[in-house]
Amino acid sequence: NAGVMQNPRHLVRRRGQEARLRCSPMKGHSHVYWYRQLPEEGLKFMVYLQKENIIDESGMPKERFSAEFPKEGPSILRIQQVVRGDSAAYFCASSPLRFSGETQYFGPGTRLLVL
C-alpha cells in the first residue's frame, strides 16, 4: 500500500513566484489535511479538505494561500507571490474518516525555500 505521497520533495522559488505543492492521499482516504512546520518547531494546522470541499481553513493565511482537493487528482496547496517567510516544510496528512481520534497519516513533506 502506498502511503501519502507529496511532490515535489524540495522546491526553490524566488520572491514573488508561485509555489504549487501536491499531495496524493493514501488509497481509500478522502480526507486531506495540510500542516506547516517552521525549523525546530512543531507542525501547525493550515487546512482540512474533503473531495471538492474545504471544510476548515482556519489555519491558513487569508492572502496568497489557497488549497483545493478536486474530484480527480491530488490535493494542491498554492502559495502565490511567495515571500521569504513562507520557507518551511509543508506536510500533508490523510485519513479515511472524518477525524475523531482516528489516525492521520503523514506524507514526507515538501521543503520550500524562498530565495
Partner 1 sequence: TQLLEQSPQFLSIQEGENLTVYCNSSSVFSSLQWYRQEPGEGPVLLVTVVTGGEVKKLKRLTFQFGDARKDSSLHITAAQPGDTGLYLCAGAENNAGNMLTFGGGTRLMVKP
Buried b (16+ CB within 10 A) or exposed e, 7-24: eeeebebeeeeebebbbb
Q: Rule CB under 8 A: choose which of 33, 60, 65, 67 binds partner 1.
A: 33
Q: Cβ of residue 54: shortest distance to partner 1, in angstroms?
A: 12
Q: Cβ of residue 43: shortest distance to partner 1, in angstroms?
A: 4
The per-residue DSSP string of 44-82 comes to EEEEEEETTEEEE-TTS-SSSEEEE--SSS-EEEEE-S-
Q: Rule CB under 8 A: choose which of 14, 58, 62, 63 binds partner 1.
A: 58
C-alpha cell at 6: 507529496
Neighbours of 35 (CB within 10 A): 20
Decide: is 108 part of the binding site for partner 1 (CB under 8 A): yes
Q: Cβ of residue 97: shortest distance to partner 1, in angstroms?
A: 10
Q: Which range touches partner 1 (CB under 8 A), out of 14-22, 28-36, 69-77, 78-86?
A: 28-36
| Residue whose CB is less far from partner 1, 17 or 22 | 22
Q: Which residues contact 13 (CB under 8 A, 6 or more apart)?
A: 19, 82, 112, 113, 114, 115
Enumerate binding residues for partner 1 (CB under 8 A): 4, 6, 31, 33, 35, 40-45, 48, 55-56, 58-59, 91, 93, 98-101, 103-109, 111
